[in-house]
Amino acid sequence: MGIDFTTLTLPEMAQALAPAVADAAVFDGWTDKAVTSAAQAEGLDPDVALLAYPAGAIDMIAAWIATVDRAMAEALPAEALDQMGFTSRIRTLLVFRIEYMAGRREALRRAIAVMARPVNMVHSARLGWRTADLMWRMAGDSATDFNHYSKRAILLSIYSATLAVLVDDDSPAQVETYAFLDRRLQDVARFGKAKARLTGSDREHFSMARLLGRLRYPAR
């Protein structure tokens, strides 16, 4: 059964229509034309649909990201993540997002270009931070001090760099993207071990959560 858009508020409509807008953005970019195409495909008045995205492209992309966030939260409940260590939780969350977006790589490419525009930088940073915060909270992080911010900054850096690889990855099943992601996570881990030796804290068993809390910037 299709969505009854007549029962939705404009913010709810924006998210409900977002996957169809993303499909159309593959061909039309994040434009009013994409919204019109998506609305027609869903049996919704295009003029009404356009009201759901008053700021244009960045609102369309924000709604799409929100649908990915919601899908991730639904697919990976706490009871599933609780069976894993912190490192595996973070990787699992990142892999979910990669798999979700892999089928719409052109829409993702165009979204990255829109988000990189100077006029959208602040909004884009907030969207990225919100996603990184959600992933850490789903992973069980409860830090409230400086670690809270450093963990999210590093995770956002890794996630953003991985998406940049994904949009140009023509390898089977995105193996190059996953290899890149694992290298980034391993680089951070190696840096953390070296730092532990220098500070004399190598008595502790290595933990990705502790490491991301210590570092301000990702390893390059």
Exposure on the CB side of residue 41, measured as CA atoms within 13 A: 15
* Domain assignment of residue 157, given as a range: 77-220
Q: Residues 131, 206: one domain?
A: yes
pLDDT tens for each residue of the chain, 220 residues long: 578 888 999 999 999 999 999 999 999 999 999 999 999 999 999 999 999 999 999 999 999 999 999 999 999 999 999 999 888 999 999 999 999 999 999 999 999 999 999 999 999 999 999 999 999 999 998 877 888 888 888 899 999 999 999 999 999 999 999 999 999 988 766 645 544 555 554 444 434 444 444 443 344 3
Q: Residues 124, 95: one domain?
A: yes
Of 60, 75, 90, which residue constitutes the final position of a domain?
A: 75
Q: Residues 142, 69: one domain?
A: no
- Using only C-alpha atoms, the chain has a radius of gyration, in whole angstroms, of 19
**Is 108 domain-assigned?**
yes
Query: What span, in angstroms and rounded, lies between the C-alpha atoms of 57 and 96?
Result: 24
Query: What span, in angstroms and rounded, lies between the C-alpha atoms of 32 and 34?
Result: 5
On whether the pTM is more than 0.85, the answer is no
How many domains are contained in the chain?
2
DSSP symbols for 150-164:
HHHHHHHHHHHHHHH
Calculate the alpha carbon distances from 61 to 17, 20, 53, 116, 130 in Å: 11, 12, 10, 12, 14
Q: Residues 133, 185: one domain?
A: yes
